[in-house]
Structures are given as C-alpha cells and as structure tokens.
Amino acid sequence: MKRVEDKVTLITGAASGFGKAMTKLFAEEGAKVFAVDISDKVKGLEEEVNGEVHGYVADVSNPEQIEAAFKECKNVYGRLDVLCNNAGMTGVVETPLHEVTLENYDKVMNLNLRGAFKVLQEGIKMMLENDGGAVVNTGSVGGYLATPGSAPYIVSKGGVVMLTKQAALEYADKGIRVNSVNPGTAKTALLETFTQEAKDFLAGQVPMGRLAEPEEIASVALFLASDDASYITGQDHIIDGGRITE
C-alpha cells in the first residue's frame, strides 16, 4: 500500500531542492499534491511527476498570496491532510553579522520564518475543518549550530525549531501532528550563492564525507507525514550525516 494514498498534500518551495524531491516522492506514494512555488516552473511538475500534482505560483513571503494558495487548494481538493512547510532561502553568506543589512535580514526572515508562520497558520485552519493532519516543517541543522557569515539564515531556522514545538503542543489534542526535518548542507539551489571553497568547507564538516541528496530529506518527510509516524509530534529530525554529533 502506498504510504500517503489519496492524502491532499500542500508543499511550498515545490519547484526545486527539497520541495521538488518531496513533490515527486509524495505523488509517487499516492498523494494529491498541491505544489506551490514562486517560480512558474512549478507548473511543469504536473507533466514531470509520476502522480497527481496541481502547480500553483505564489510568493510565500506575501501573506495575501499564501491565503490565495490555500483557498485554491480548498477549491481544488476540498481539504488538507498534509502540509510540507518547506519554502526557504539562504540570503547573504560569508557576511559578518555587523555587516548584514536590515534589508537582507528582513528578506530572509519574511520568507523563512514569517512566511513559514503564515503558511502554518493557514494549514492548521484547514486541518481543523477536517479530522486533523500532519505538518512537516523544513528547518535546518543551522537551527542548532551557528555558521559564521550566515546570521539571518541561522536565526530564522532557529525560529522554525520552536515554531514546530509550539504548534505541536497547541494542536496535539486536535489530531494535528507537527514535526520538522532539519537537513545539513545538501545539493540544492540554495548553494548557488556559495563559493566552491565554502562548499568544500561544508562537505569537509560532515563525518560521512558528503553532502545530502534532496531525496534523502524527502524520505524522512514522507515518513513523518504518514501513519507510520502516528505517535510522533513536536520532534525535530536532524539529517546531517553525523555533523551535529561532533
């Protein structure tokens, strides 16, 4: 049996990286995926993925567009069973905290934390209309370990850690489970702004000796969204090749 058969699943940041890997895997496992991304490439997933996908263009840093996306999801499918709250960005790298502009800080926070908060709100509202559901937030090992030169990103992902725990506590008795996946550095578009030296440095920090594949993160998200994880909530699952153990 497919693990998320007929479960309506909304995934943000679905056109690339972890979100694209989640979209493909969830669709293959029987989900009806409502895929959201700021890029119109999300529309192409309808033909690319082996399964049911409805692509929708929206900017997760824009509250009105988030509301419109969930409204359309309800129009198309009538309910929401799973939310993969995944959209995010790195922002500046190799920039000391005292040199980070408020403009850049706000840009990262508006997507990674404020946007994630709003997406979570709208998802919970829809799940409360049904019999609950499952949320998987995408955090980062950066929510636990500081990285020089990436202050806005690190602060935003630290917020996602507590956002997950807060929501899990508030809605446990409503049948809504909230967990997170917290990847180490992976082979996604977020690394495009990094120099090769920085990429080599990050890979060198991983005890397993390599960066993560997006599909490895998606597989944990699928488990957490499925009934196999029915007694798991409020947990932050670190997927980093052993880095945080050092």
Q: Which two tokens mark 141?
A: 């090992």
Residues 175 and 133: beta-carbon distance below 8 Å: yes
List the structure tokens of 100: 């980070």
* Residue of 56, 105, 153, 171 with catalytic role: 153
Residue 11 pairs with which residues in a beta bridge?
35, 84
Task: Note the Cα 238 to chain centre separation in Å.
Answer: 13
| Residue 177 contacts residue 223 (beta carbons within 8 Å) | no
Confirm whether 153 is a catalytic residue.
yes
The answer to whether the beta carbons of residues 56 and 34 sit under 8 Å apart is: yes
Compute the distance between CA of residue 216 and CA of residue 155 in angstroms, rounded to an integer: 24
Element (H, E) at 9: strand 8-12
Catalytic residues: 153
